Structure 1
Amino acid sequence: MTYQPDRACGRPTRSGNPCKIRISGSDVACGTHATEQDKAVAEAYRRGWNEGYEAGRESGASSSKSHIAYLKKRVKELEEQLDSARHVYEVDGCQVVQVGKYSYRWRGSDPLKVGDRVHLPENWVSKLKVGPGLTVGVVTKLGTTYRGSLSDIVGRAPAEASP
């Protein structure tokens, strides 16, 4: 059975002339002239078309999801490569570390490690959030990709006492 767009039924009427009722899609005859077999064939065709359409849609969606996941992974890899190429661990002979999302310079003799607690200088944000004076932060990363001016870490903070 081939799909034919909008067309006339064409089955003979009582007068013997072809039926001129318009049919479309998978129907083979109009409602007046269609037999039970014609209706069953048309319904099977519609069901098969719908199932095929749905399977194709799901396959396309699955393919798109896997392609998106691949592209996200690739972008992350490329960002990491670019990041490592631009990463600096020392500026003017001083160690550079990240505390939270901000980068600082450490002038101390013993290098800092991730997890070390440090005293940070007051800035306008810390003054608003915690009040005047030094704040305590934790080193989250060694090195930075930041290229602007860096504030100096004031000193090491004592380790937190365990309860």
Structure 2
Amino acid sequence: MIDHSDQTCGRPTRSGSPCKIRLSGSDVACSTHATEQDKAVAEAHRRGWSDGYRLGSESSASLSKSRIERLEQRVKELEEQLDSNRRVYQVGGHQVVEVGRYTYRWRGNKPLAVGDRVLLPENYVSRMKDGPGPTAGVVTKLGTTCRGPLSDIVERAPAAGGQDPSDPVTG
């Protein structure tokens, strides 16, 4: 915008002396002395400034969004690289898997795969939420980066229809 902070209209008054009314914004003359053309020029300037400001803001937001997306992708790549460097697939000779947010040890003969349904041991939260006994879960990831104590998976969960296809007795 044009800086008129110390500028006055300056157009001649009826007495012939310059007008002392301060200008603001895009105005080139006070409302008393402005012609229709002066008003149109001031409005065009305001509209141009406003549109330029809006487009600049949109461009900046778009650039920021693009930069954030690139940084998030880079963080994801680095997390995956760090994860793969720290991930272990066995602890004490037994397979470890993630079921949701938690890691468990599998002592069964046939290894688990992502998507396998398993029964998890009861804990304080599962007892309150689901009642007593094991809770069903689905293997979401093989291996772990967890370095703490692990609970054991109780068993494979029965497939639809109540039979476990990996169980030689029922499957």
**Fold agreement, TM-score > 0.5:** yes
Query: Higher mean Cα deviation, 149-158 or 92-101?
Result: 149-158
SS of alignment partner, residue 136 of structure 2: strand
Q: Does 1:106 align with 2:113?
A: no
Residue identity opposite 1:131 in structure 2: G
Q: Give 2:143's aligned residue.
A: 143
Q: Give 1:38's aligned residue.
A: 38
Q: How far apart in 1 are the matches of 2:136 and 2:23?
A: 79
Residues 119, 38 of structure 1: alpha-carbon distance in 2 compared, 3 angstrom cutoff: closer
**1:5-154 map, 5 Å:** 5-6=4-5, 7-154=7-154
The alpha carbon displacement at 1:106 in A equals 1.4
Q: Give 1:157's aligned residue.
A: 157
Query: Higher mean Cα deviation, 83-92 or 31-40?
Result: 31-40
The alpha carbon displacement at 1:111 in A equals 1.3
Residue identity opposite 2:146 in structure 1: Y
Q: How far apart in 2 are the matches of 1:107 and 1:44?
A: 77
Q: How far apart in 2 are the matches of 1:80 and 1:58?
A: 33
SS of alignment partner, residue 34 of structure 2: coil
Please report the TM-score for the alignment, with normalisation by the length of structure 1.
0.87
The alpha carbon displacement at 1:80 in A equals 1.4
Residues 44, 121 of structure 1: alpha-carbon distance in 2 compared, 3 angstrom cutoff: closer
Residues 138, 9 of structure 1: alpha-carbon distance in 2 compared, 3 angstrom cutoff: closer
Structure 2 residues without counterparts, runs of 5 or longer:
163-171
Aligned residues: 161
Q: Give 2:166's aligned residue.
A: none
The alpha carbon displacement at 1:87 in A equals 0.9
Residue identity opposite 1:41 in structure 2: V
Residues 25, 80 of structure 1: alpha-carbon distance in 2 compared, 3 angstrom cutoff: same
Residue identity opposite 2:16 in structure 1: G
The alpha carbon displacement at 1:68 in A equals 1.5
SS of alignment partner, residue 138 of structure 1: strand
Residue identity opposite 1:106 in structure 2: W
**Percent pairwise identity:** 71
Structure 1 residues without counterparts, runs of 5 or longer:
none
The alpha carbon displacement at 1:143 in A equals 0.7
Query: Higher mean Cα deviation, 33-42 or 128-137?
Result: 128-137
The alpha carbon displacement at 1:59 in A equals 0.9
Please report the TM-score for the alignment, with normalisation by the length of structure 2.
0.83
